[in-house]
Amino acid sequence: MSDNLRLSDILTLARTSGKVTVEGLAAHFGVTVQTIRRDLAALDSAGHLARVHGGAVLPSGTANIAHAERRQLNAPAKVRIAEAAAKRVQAGMTIFLGIGTSTEALSRALLHHPDLQVITNNFHVAEILAANPAAQMILTGGSYRRSDGGLVGPAAIATIRQFRCDLAFFGCSALDERGDMLDFDLAEVEVNRAILDHARQRVLLADHSKLTRRAPVRVGSLRDVDLLITDAPLPAALTEACGGWGTEIRVA
């Protein structure tokens, strides 16, 4: 395999799983770890990946990954998380689905749920759940964000404040070691803060890659969440902290 083809395949693997390791890539391609380290250094220099101990992750910082790429990132894990979340939804509930690819996966898992009222600021969620005739849809309104179909701003927040939903499902771009939920867009963060204030039960959907990413704006803490549904155990210290906060962790 040529170097350019291998670099392209490494990037594809990273976009699928969120992280790649030197040892894993060396075994996958049948090359030396030194070759993989050079490959990762080249991808890091080009801004495609960020080097971490033992491998590399998708870069983060002040700008989020493109929506189409995020849809592919850990897609099987998001399906499992969505299926676990859907089991919490009962007929007759009013639920909120926020911006993000995890909530979009949840909307697909709810296509056959009966008697739902769904409030959302995610245009993609509304499009998906339009196929469920038993789901009454309420879009928040607000400024339309072309990058991911999100609705943000004062109008979105004003709509959310008119409701007290049974369950609110939302995501975040990153989780740090202290349990802070982080994101990139202050307008989206302000909407999520309104969700936290106007839901009877708050559910964060976050796959394990969020623990390896960084984002600049703080949404809140896992102490503000009733339930975290993820696909891998949290670090021991964070699991212990969640226990003290009364935050339930469900590993799908």
Are 222 and 186 in contact, with CB atoms under 8 Å apart? Answer: no
Same domain, 171 and 210: yes
Report whether pLDDT(76) > 60. Answer: yes
**Residue-level pLDDT at 62:** 42
Question: Which three-class secondary structure state does DSSP give residue 92?
Answer: coil
Sequence-distant (≥ 6) Cβ neighbours of residue 90 within 8 angstroms: none
In-domain check, residue 165: yes
Same domain, 154 and 73: yes
In-domain check, residue 62: no
Average pLDDT (209-219) is: 86
In the chain, pLDDT over 70 holds for what percent of residues?
92
Which carries the bigger pLDDT value, residue 15 or residue 164? Answer: 164
Same domain, 33 and 73: no
Are 191 and 185 in contact, with CB atoms under 8 Å apart? Answer: no
Average pLDDT (170-188) is: 91
| The pairing of beta strand 94-97 with beta strand 116-120 | parallel
Are 85 and 251 in contact, with CB atoms under 8 Å apart? Answer: no
Same domain, 129 and 202: yes
Read off the pTM.
0.75
CA pair distance 33, 23, nearest whole angstrom: 6
Q: What are phi and psi of 221, to 5 degrees?
A: -120, 160
8-state DSSP, 100: S
Sequence-distant (≥ 6) Cβ neighbours of residue 48 within 8 angstroms: 11, 59
Per-residue pLDDT tens over the stretch 79-128 = 999 999 999 999 999 999 999 899 999 999 999 999 999 999 999 999 99
Are 110 and 126 in contact, with CB atoms under 8 Å apart? Answer: no
Per-residue pLDDT tens over the stretch 121-151 = 999 999 999 999 999 999 999 999 887 899 9
**Residue-level pLDDT at 129:** 96
CATH number of the domain that residue 13 is part of: 1.10.10.10
String of b and e for 97-130 (b: at least 16 CB within 10 Å)? bbbbbbbbbbbbbbeebeebbbbbbbbbbbebbe
In-domain check, residue 200: yes
In-domain check, residue 53: yes
Report whether pLDDT(5) > 80. Answer: yes
Same domain, 107 and 204: yes
| Mean of the per-residue pLDDT values of the chain | 90
Same domain, 210 and 245: yes
Same domain, 234 and 169: yes
8-state DSSP, 127: H
Domain that residue 50 falls in: 3-57
Same domain, 241 and 121: yes
**Residue-level pLDDT at 63:** 47
Are 116 and 136 in contact, with CB atoms under 8 Å apart? Answer: yes
Average pLDDT (199-206) is: 97
Same domain, 9 and 92: no
Same domain, 22 and 136: no
Per-residue pLDDT tens over the stretch 27-68 = 999 999 999 999 999 988 887 888 888 888 776 554 455 565
Q: Where are the beta strands (DSSP E) in the chain?
A: 19-21, 50-52, 55-57, 94-97, 116-120, 135-139, 143-145, 150-152, 165-170, 174-175, 180-183, 199-205, 217-221, 227-230, 248-251
CATH number of the domain that residue 200 is part of: 3.40.50.1360
Cα–Cα separations (whole angstroms), residue 158 to 85, 163, 175, 195? 26, 10, 27, 11
Same domain, 91 and 156: yes
Same domain, 71 and 38: no
Which carries the bigger pLDDT value, residue 72 or residue 173? Answer: 173
**Residue-level pLDDT at 61:** 53
**Residue-level pLDDT at 48:** 80
Count of domains forming the chain: 2
